């Protein structure tokens, strides 16, 4: 059994990670850290884990984390980069669910996250943890940067079109909606029931932190410069992301919907966690709740020049904790689906 540590186990991403790890056949939870809840049983804070996680929260010390084989950081941005060098030196594999190692350019990191990077020398080594793109590199990695939730849904939707040179990479639009859990568990006025319920709003329109990550990922995977308009929205639901993606078919091409459908089906036919829906069937966020699955549909409305891709994920699972476990499985040589092969929740 592999000994696993989780730093920051009190947020929504943290509890989702613990839920998945508790059912993993190859994992023993060595420690779950939290300064604010230190000494309290994990299952007291999260009663859904009663009988599955029977350890207390402990102080996040390097000494205790060094006893682990792999450590997940489900922490705010800027935390993992302070501890990662010492853990890597001790031979511990590190999986960061925040943004500390996603951007390769430290000046870009400082621009978007407002702080100087603590270990820029590790940015080149960190593997971007989107398995559908970097599977082989992840299997060899000791430091993995898990993608953000929006970047996961957007990249998986755009990549087949861009890789095959079907759409103009300078005219991409991502219109994305997220549930309120994407804002985290901290108390904030915008997340209150009376503020978020029966309401729908855009945010980060002038520039969202996930924009440079999406552009970097698309450019790296396709070797093309891309220009993307990315507008996120907050919706009155708890979990889920729905990304509606628009790409303009290049002038000398004329792909039918059936040809586009075949393109996506072939691109993802061997991917255990990407489900391309039948032609004319559109994905719903409820169909991926609690699952490490991205469901995708592609269409060409009125046979016009605009290609529309619909991509849905659970922001806490395939957009965070589930993808982190998927990366762990690859890093440690487990079956990629271990601990993740379960159906979504309904209703």
Asked about 294 being catalytic, the answer comes back as no
Backbone phi, then psi, for 252, in 5-degree steps?
A: -90, 10
- The CA R_g of the chain, rounded to the nearest whole Å, is 20
If one counts every other C-beta atom within 10 angstroms of the C-beta of residue 86, the result is 14
User: Is the sign of the CA dihedral 251, 253, 259, 261 positive or negative?
Assistant: negative
Q: What is the pLDDT of residue 251?
A: 85
How high is the pLDDT of residue 66?
96
The half-sphere exposure of 260 on its side-chain side, counting CA atoms within 13 A, is 30
- Active site residue: 31, 68, 146, 149, which one? 149
Please tell me whether residue 109 adopts helix, strand or coil conformation.
helix
- pLDDT at position 188 is 80
Q: Which residue ranges form the domains of the chain, and what is each CATH number? A: 2-125 (3.40.50.720), 150-315 (3.30.360.10)
Separation between Cα atoms, residue 180 and residue 270, nearest integer Å: 32
Q: Return per-residue pLDDT of the chain as tens, 347 residues.
A: 999 999 998 899 999 999 999 999 999 999 999 988 989 999 999 999 999 999 999 998 999 999 999 999 999 999 999 999 999 999 999 999 999 999 999 999 999 999 999 999 999 999 999 999 999 999 999 999 999 999 999 999 999 999 999 999 999 999 999 999 887 777 788 888 888 889 999 999 999 999 999 999 999 988 889 999 999 999 999 999 999 999 999 988 889 999 999 999 999 999 999 999 999 999 999 999 999 999 999 999 999 999 999 999 999 999 999 999 999 999 999 999 999 999 999 98
Burial of residue 193, with CB atoms counted within 10 A of its CB: 0-12 exposed, 13-18 middle, 19 or more buried: exposed
Query: What's the pLDDT at 190?
Result: 80
CA distance 166 to 254: 9
Give me the DSSP letters along 284-338: -GGGGTTSS-EEEEEE-GGG-SEEEEEEEE-TTIIIIIHHHHHHHHHHHT--TTT
Segments of the chain assigned E as strands = 2-7, 27-33, 57-58, 70-73, 93-96, 127-128, 143-145, 167-178, 201-202, 228-234, 241-249, 274-276, 294-299, 306-313
| Size of the chain in residues | 347
Paired sense of beta strands 228-234 and 201-202, if any = antiparallel
């Amino acid at each position: 059994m592999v000994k696993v540590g989780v730093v920051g186990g009190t947020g929504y991403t943290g509890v989702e990670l613990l839920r998945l790890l508790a059912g993993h056949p190859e994992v023993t939870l060595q420690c779950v850290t939290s300064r604010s809840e230190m000494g309290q049983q994990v299952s007291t804070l999260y009663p859904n884990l009663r009988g599955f996680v029977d350890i207390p929260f402990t102080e996040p010390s390097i000494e205790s984390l060094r006893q682990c084989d792999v450590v997940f950081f489900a922490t705010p941005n800027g935390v993992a980069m302070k501890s990662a060098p010492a853990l890597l030196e001790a031979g511990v594999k590190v999986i960061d669910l925040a943004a500390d190692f996603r951007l390769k350019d430290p000046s870009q990191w400082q621009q978007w996250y407002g702080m100087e990077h603590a270990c820029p020398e590790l940015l080149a080594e960190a593997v971007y943890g989107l398995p559908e793109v970097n599977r082989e590199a992840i299997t060899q990695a000791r430091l993995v940067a898990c993608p953000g939730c929006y970047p996961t849904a957007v990249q998986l939707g755009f990549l087949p079109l861009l890789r095959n040179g079907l759409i103009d990479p300078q005219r991409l639009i991502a219109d994305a909606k997220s549930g309120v859990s994407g804002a985290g568990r901290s108390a904030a006025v915008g997340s209150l029931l009376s503020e978020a319920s029966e309401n729908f709003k855009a945010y980060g329109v002038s520039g969202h932190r996930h924009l440079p990550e999406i552009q970097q990922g698309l450019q790296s995977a396709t070797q093309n410069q891309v220009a993307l308009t990315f507008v996120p929205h907050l919706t009155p639901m708890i979990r889920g992301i729905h990304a509606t993606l628009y790409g303009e078919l290049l002038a000398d091409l004329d792909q039918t919907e059936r040809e586009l459908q075949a393109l996506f089906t072939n691109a993802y036919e061997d991917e255990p966690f990407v489900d391309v829906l039948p032609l004319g069937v559109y994905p719903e966020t409820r169909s991926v709740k609690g699952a490490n699955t991205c469901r995708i549909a592609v269409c060409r409305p009125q046979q016009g020049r605009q290609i529309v891709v619909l991509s849905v994920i659970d922001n806490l699972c395939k957009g965070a904790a589930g993808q982190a476990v998927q990366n762990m499985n690859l890093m440690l040589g487990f079956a990629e689906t271990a601990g993740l092969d379960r159906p979504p929740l309904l209703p």
